[in-house]
Structure 1
Amino acid sequence: MAKNKVGKNRIPFRLNLLFFAVFILFSALILRLGFIQIVQGDEFESELEQTSSETARIDAPRGLMYDRNGELIVDNELVLSLTYTNEQDVPDDERIRIATELSKLIEVDSEEMENIPERDKKDYWLVTHPEEAAELLTQEDRNTIEDDDELYDLQLKRITDEQLDELNEEREIIAIWREMTSGYYDSPQRIKKGLSREEAHSISERLDNLSGVDILRDANRKYLYEDAFPRFFGRTGAIPRENLEEYLAKGYDRSDEVGTSFLEEYYEEALRGNKGEILSANKSNNSGKESNGSRGNDLVLSVDMALQQEVETIIDEEVDSSTGSFINDKEAYVVLMEPQTGEILSVSGYSDHLGSISSSFEMGSTVKPATVMLGLQTGVINQHSVVVDRTLNIPYTPPISSVSNLGPVNYLTALERSSNVFMAHIAMELAGYNYGVSQTWNTTEYNEAYDTFRYYYDQFGLGAETGVDLPFESTGINGGNASPGNLLYLSFGQFDTYTPMQLAQYVSTIANDGYRMKPHFVKQIREASADKTKLGAVRQQFEPTIMNKVDINNEYINMAQEGMWRVTNGSRGTARSYFNDTEYVAAGKTGTAEIRIRQDGSNRVVEGNNQAFIGYAPYDDPEVAIAVIVPYVYKDSAGGTSGIANAIARRSLDAYFDLRKDRPDIEPDDTDE
């Protein structure tokens, strides 16, 4: 009986121990659940709400642009945009229904409808013709091809032109649908920017039936001086397809608008605004908290818009008064620049400003100061060298002469009176050709002479990239080393071609004692200011950038400068009659390049001139440099007007100094921050 008593006592003890352990575990679990529900409940509920809500980013306005005197020149204006937020679980037929409804409420740009990519049309056809789409694949296709993407591509290939032609009446719907589906899920995609009042009103009345559709505030660029500076501001628009991946990698959305040309494109990172956010509580509630973004940074340009307008008027008046002088369309370009900083004060054109960086011309005698300097630097001439200016007759080369036989000339009179023959002698000496003695040219030596000319020209910016702060620029046309005779034409500006911007950098380099400065349109990047009439704090100041010092002795630069002074002030200077009564002292060089050009609308080749002028002032302390080119003018004997470029240069420099004298200096550097 003793054994039985002991055995009965052991079983209850183990059960009690087990029950006690279970009790402890359940108690801990209950306590933990209570702690989570009571103490941490609000925190987890907030996290859950954040997880189930949607955040949509909305565009912020771009930065503004001001001229060098703080004048607002590029603004933003409020517009309304139609957007669609695409959700992953929305069926295709619902998107088609919404696109169809929207096509009845808004006007779609005709160009956009005409340029719908074929791939988008095919995608739309597959969505709207599911049964026919299924018939494009055979059972064998489905058995042998496992990858869905490959099957889809096969369907696309089998859609016929006739099937696509059936969609012509649905182009508006397709254009809207492709915009609806081109963005990311749960992010607003811009369908149309700049809704009319009628469109916005009609859509607002139907929003309950258009899930995902919304109308948001947006901004359009407003170019206040578009007529006076039309091309260089640039434009904004959709991200170009070829740059899409690059922008996406930088955090842009597919629907974003970006700068697509010129200053808008070059300074995209600075001008881009910081996006705002719309936070909705859940998918069924499209209204939520809105976080405003911030405007992008503002640009202060180096351009003086008052001067720009003056120069535009001068060009128009001078060109229009020379009716009948132009072989083809009227053209004229002017660039004014600060020699010591590279700041561009004005870039103007008669009908197209873009030609100042994209079009190149033979600039004639304006290159002669560089030719004189390289001749002095290489030792083929010196300050005492004298050449008898008379017609040169060289085998296999057209006769070379100046405007008339000038007689004995040195480097000063060669610049003052514009001697082609003096420059040609520099070229011949460099090539080892002794005029009147040598019978043939040494191929090695004349090729080396070409290289020498272009080496020095390049240092002044002729034939080289200027470095201007724009997405692209032309560097002109290098004519190659075709023949010895063309080397002589190169020496006085009638072979290689240069842009007006290059010509302006070249004369600025001369005025700046051989220091080539990088030309630029933007002086400063500033923080956005709430008051558009005041400039924000400076974020970045663009200091003058020296690109190089020309490899020429300062004494020779001074000698060329003296020769340019004689052009505008000497008794026989080719521009004396235009500058002899100025209140300032200028230095310059005229240029006339003989050209042959095909006349528009005919096969007739016409002989004419490119008229050019370079200069700077004041002579002793240059603060402005100018380059003018008036291309493709009939010769005087054929009805062309002479001196158009000279007249434009004189009046433009007058305008610069008149503005400096008649108004206070209110440049942004002096603005309170």
Structure 2
Amino acid sequence: MARQKHQKNKLYLNILFVFVFLLFSALILRLGFLQIVEGDDYVREVEGEGETTGIDSPRGLMYDRHGNKVVDNELVLSLTYTNRSGVSDEERIEIARQLNEVIEIDLEEEEITDRDLQDFWIVTNEEEAQELVSEEEIQELTDDEYYEVLLDRIPEEEVEGFSEQETQVAAIWREMNQGFYDEPHRIKQDIDEESAHVIGEHLDDLPGVDLLRDSQRKYMYEDSFSRFLGRTGAIPSESLDDYLARGYERSDDVGRSFLELEYEEELRGEKRLLEENVDGTQEEEAGQRGRDLVLSVDMDLQQEIENIIEEEISGSESGFINEAEAYVVMMDPNTGELLSVAGYDDHLGAISSSYEMGSTVKAASVMIGLEEEIIEPNTIFEDREISLPDTPPMSSVTDMGDINDLTALERSSNIYMAEIAMRMAGYDYEEECCWDNIGGSYQIFRNYYSQFGLGEETGIDLPSESSGLTGDSDSGGNLLYLSFGQYDTYTPLQLTQYISTIANGGSRLQPNLVNEIREPSRDTDELGAVRQQHTPNVLNQIDVSPSHLDRVQEGLWRVMNGEDGTARDEFEDADYVAAGKTGTAEVRIIEESTGDAVDGNNQALVAYAPYDEPEVAVSVVVPYVYTDEDGGSPGTANRIAREAMDAFFELQEERQEDTEEEDQEGISEEELDELLEEE
């Protein structure tokens, strides 16, 4: 009996221990929940604070080199949605349907995909979707595998049959889902006043939806140069971790391309902080607009050159084998500042597309011959057709007979360059022997070319650029083609860096699009204090003697001014003295309309002026035009170059006259008379 009583007491004691244990466990869990989950809320309540939200401040502006505003911000209202836990897909779709009655998504810009529409169909047709995969299959598949099978089995007609309205709802629903929990995500920017009023009246019926004061980019010159300015948008998913580590929030807009991306850290503003107190009142801490960029580009000149290209090319599009292309890159050869980067229809090819540039490279080839002691100043070669084994016959535009290095540049001799290449490689054309150093000769040519920037990245202040293409070959014939510009390919920007290096006496300068970074000013029509200023960056000095450089410059002068110069017709009556080199590369490409290989030409020209004290360098590239016999337009690149350089000097003269007039306005008549008497 005593034993039973003892066991009974022991049982009660165990129950008591379990109860105490559970009680303490619950207490610990509750304390943990209060501290970890709700701790910040209680701290804010004790301190009289509520939630703080960071709101984007406007990005920095962009101005051209003369202070003209290029990129501005305009205040707009944005529609946002904040995802909360516990909200079902059905509820979000219903909100999307209500929003669709007021707003419309630009489906081309947002690029809604078939996968987006499939996801939407699954959510809006649950019963039909469940019937597409059997219970047995579901048990054997992982969640990811199940969803892929489900997507694959959705009938095409279901997705293709979406109405315009349903597609709009799907697009809004997709945007709502792309946001992160508890963070507002932009559904649509620039809501018009009427739509904002309607949405504002129904915010209570649209949980998670809000209207946000926002800003968006405004391009003052519309499409002129706009691609290089870049675009902004949501943080790319592949870069999210990097941006978060740098203090960004998931919902931030960032620079997505070109200058907006390259100078993101400067252009982003300091956020406005909106604090909601526990008593329902709000406090706002002002942010700051991002820093401003002063570009190297002259937008008046940019527009002039775009018009020149448009007028020259639009009337001769039939002369192009495929789509019409033409590019102009203009640079200050003394600083590397890019004054204009323009193209027909699209500017990007100026830095991203590469072409065989023909005879424009011959200035470098002659310099290589002089430096490697293959030739001396005034060395004579006979310009005539030559034929190598397994290589088509080579010739210049005409057989020129005996010519020297200067005439070879003036009249653009292919054979003179070929003679330099053959002799460098140890080949005697008359004896048909022997290619002793083909590989080494390729390397020598490319080493020199790279000093001028041909085949090398220019270093432009953009996220990416093309470095052109260099082919591998052990062919002597291709070595000769390389020497007169019909083997490796270069970009128009590389061509401008190359001619600038010759113009300024041998310094390869890094090209830049941004001259200054400035602090934001209260008045956006005025520039703030300079934070950072561009200084010329010499990437390398070319390893050539000054006398050889002078010799080549003389040859380039003769191209524009000599009796037989290939650009004399376009430049002989110019108000300035220019030097440069024309180029025509023979190419064979596929004609898209027929699928046939077609012979064509790449027209190119590089130039600088004035000859004695260069202020501007330019390259013009007009690729893939039909040959003259097949309807091409000869001389297009030369004409564009002349008009572009005219535009540069005319604008300079106009600005100088305007400055003199402004200065005279502040001078009294007596002082003006004295100045005139002194003159």
When normalised by structure 2's length, the TM-score is 0.83
Whether the 8 Å CA contact 1:489–1:495 is kept in 2: the answer is yes
- Measure, in 1, the Cα distance between the counterparts of 2:149 and 2:269: 44
Question: For 1:114 and 1:162, how far apart are their aligned partners in 2?
Answer: 23
What does the per-residue CA deviation read over 1:474-516, in whole Å, with 9 as the maximum and x for residues that have no partner?
1112122151101111111111111100100100011111110
Are the equivalent residues in 2 in contact too, given 1:360–1:497 (CA < 8 A)? yes
Query: Is 1:75 the counterpart of 2:72 in the alignment?
Result: yes
**Quick one: distance in 1 between partners of 2:657 and 2:272?**
38
| Mapped contact 1:333–1:349 kept (Cα < 8 A) | yes
SS of the equivalent of 1:351 reads coil
SS in 2 for 1:585: coil
Map 1:444-459 to 2 at 5 A: 445-459=437-451
> Which residue does 2:10 correspond to in 1?
none
Q: Secondary structure at the match of 2:407?
A: helix
Provide the C-alpha distance between the structure 1 equivalents of 2:299 and 2:442, rounded to a whole number of angstroms.
41
Contact 2:120 2:170 in 1 (8 A): no
Aligned residues: 614
SS at match of 2:312: helix
Distance 1:643 1:455 in 2: 31
1:95, 1:177 within 8 Å by CA — same for their partners in 2? yes
Alignment pair present for 1:56 and 2:53: yes
Spell out the pairing of 1:162-177 with structure 2 (5 A cutoff). Answer: 172-177=168-173
Aligned mates of 2:118, 2:109 — CA distance in 1: 13
Which moves more between the two structures, 615-624 or 79-88? 79-88
Distance 1:665 1:64 in 2: 29
In 1: Cα distance, 2:339 partner to 2:401 partner: 40
Are 2:562 and 1:570 aligned?
yes
Q: Spell out the pairing of 1:399-438 with structure 2 (5 A cutoff).
A: 399-438=393-432
Cα distance in 1, alignment partners of residues 557 and 259 from structure 2: 36
User: Could you tell me which amino acid in structure 1 is paired with residue 282 of structure 2?
Assistant: G
Q: TM-score, normalised by structure 1?
A: 0.84
Residue 475 in structure 1 maps to residue 467 in structure 2: yes
2:521 partner amino acid: S
Q: Secondary structure at the match of 1:633?
A: strand
Determine the structure 1 residue equivalent to 2:624.
632
Question: Quick check: 154-163 or 462-471, which moved more?
Answer: 154-163
Asked whether the 8 Å contact 1:112–1:175 carries over to 2, the reply is no
The Cα shift of 1:520 comes to 0.9
The offset of 1:96, in angstroms, is 4.8
1:246 alignment partner AA: D
Over 3 Å counting, the alpha-carbon distance change for 1:351 and 1:119 in structure 2 is closer
Q: 1: CA distance between counterparts of 2:114 and 2:235?
A: 16
Q: Which one is further off, 510-519 or 569-578?
A: 569-578
1:90-101 superposed matches below 5 A? 94-101=91-98
Stretch of structure 1 that moved more, 164-173 or 58-67: 164-173
| Aligned-partner SS, 2:365 | helix
- Which one of 593, 608, 615 corresponds to residue 607 of structure 2? 615
Instruction: Give the aligned residue type for 2:534.
Output: F
1:382 match: secondary structure: coil
Cα 1:630–1:411 change in 2 (3 A) is same
Matched residue, 1:349: 343
- Output the CA distance in 2 between the equivalents of 1:214 and 1:124: 26
> Contact 1:93/1:128 (CA < 8 Å) preserved in 2?
no
CA distance in 2, matches of 1:500, 1:594: 17
Where do 1:219-618 residues align within 5 Å?
219-282=215-278, 285=280, 288-322=282-316, 324-442=318-436, 445-618=437-610
Identify the residue that residue 195 of structure 1 maps to in structure 2.
191
* Aligned amino acid, residue 361 of structure 1: Y
Query: Equivalents in 1 of 2:475, 2:63: separation in Å?
Result: 50
Distance 1:571 1:135 in 2: 81
Offset at 1:601?
0.6
Cα distance change of structure 1 residues 449 and 107 upon mapping to structure 2, 3 Å threshold: same
Change (3 A) 1:640 1:103: closer
What letter is aligned with 1:586? A
- Equivalent residue in structure 2 for 1:186, among 182, 185, 189: 182
Amino acid at match of 2:286: N
Distance 1:154 1:396 in 2: 57
Deviations 1:387-441 (A, max 9, x none): 1111112222222111111121111111111111110010001100011013342
1:582 deviation in Å? 1.8
Query: Residue 94 of structure 1: CA displacement?
Result: 4.8
Range with bigger deviation, 391-400 or 497-506: 391-400
Structure 1 pair 582–151 and aligned structure 2 pair: CA distance change class (3 A): closer
Q: Indicate how the Cα distance of structure 1 residues 369 and 260 shifts in structure 2: closer, same or farther if over 3 A, else same.
A: same
**Cα distance, 1:120 vs structure 2:** 9.6
Q: Secondary structure at the match of 1:566?
A: helix
Provide the C-alpha distance between the structure 2 equivalents of 1:482 and 1:104, rounded to a whole number of angstroms. 68
Residue 135 of structure 1 and its aligned partner are, at CA, apart by: 13
Contact map agreement 1:508 1:625 (CA 8 A) in 2: yes
Q: Report the CA distance between 1:639 and its aligned residue.
A: 2.8
The DSSP-based 3-state class of the residue aligned with 1:534 is coil
Q: CA deviation at 1:308?
A: 0.8
Asked whether the 8 Å contact 2:380–2:403 carries over to 1, the reply is yes
User: Which has the higher mean CA deviation after the structures are superposed, 577-586 or 88-97?
Assistant: 88-97
SS at match of 1:102: helix
Tell me the residue number matched to 1:107: 104
Counterpart contact for 1:56–1:186, Cα < 8 Å: no
Deviation at 1:182, TM superposition (A): 3.6
Q: Offset at 1:189?
A: 1.7
Say which is worse superposed, 537-546 or 597-606, in terms of deviation.
597-606
**C-alpha spacing 1:249/1:395, structure 2 compared with 1 (3 Å):** same
Relative to 1, partners in 2 of residues 1:269 and 1:571: Cα closer, same or farther, differing over 3 Å?
same
Q: Secondary structure at the match of 1:631?
A: strand
> C-alpha separation between the residues in 1 aligned to 2:494 and 2:72?
31
- Counterpart of 2:104, as a letter, is E
CA 1:113–1:599: 2 relative to 1, 3 Å? closer
**The residue matched to 2:633 in structure 1 has which SS?**
coil
For the residue of structure 1 that corresponds to 2:396, the secondary structure is: coil
Residues 73 and 217 of structure 2 are in contact (CA less than 8 Å); yes or no, is this contact kept in structure 1?
yes
In structure 1, give the amino acid aligned to 2:337.
E
How far the C-alpha of 1:75 sits from its partner, in A, is 1.0
Q: Does the 8 Å CA contact 1:113/1:172 hold for their aligned counterparts?
A: no
Q: Which moved more, 1:448-457 or 1:247-256?
A: 247-256
- Distance in 2 separating the partners of 1:666 and 1:542: 26
RMSD (Å) for aligned C-alpha atoms: 3.1
Residue 634 of structure 2 aligns to a residue in which SS? coil
Look up the match of 2:32: none
Partner secondary structure for residue 470 of structure 1: coil
Identify if the C-alpha distance between structure 1 residues 476 and 118 changes in structure 2 by more than 3 Å, giving closer, same or farther: same
1:244-281 per-residue CA deviation (whole Å, 9 max, x = no partner) reads 33222222222222222211121111111222122222
CA 1:157–1:123 in 2, change beyond 3 Å: closer, same or farther?
farther
For 2:549 and 2:137, how far apart are their aligned partners in 1?
82
Kept in 2: contact 1:126–1:133 (CA 8 A): no
Secondary structure, aligned partner of 2:228: coil
Q: Give the deviation of 1:98 after TM superposition.
A: 3.3
Query: Which range moves more in the overlay, 424-433 or 537-546?
Result: 537-546
Amino acid at match of 1:490: L
Distance 1:431 1:92 in 2: 73
Equivalent position SS for 2:227: coil
Letter in 2 for 1:373: M
> 92-101 or 466-475: which moved more?
92-101
Letter of the 1:461 counterpart: G
Deviation at 1:122, TM superposition (A): 5.2
CA distance in 1, matches of 2:416, 2:86: 81
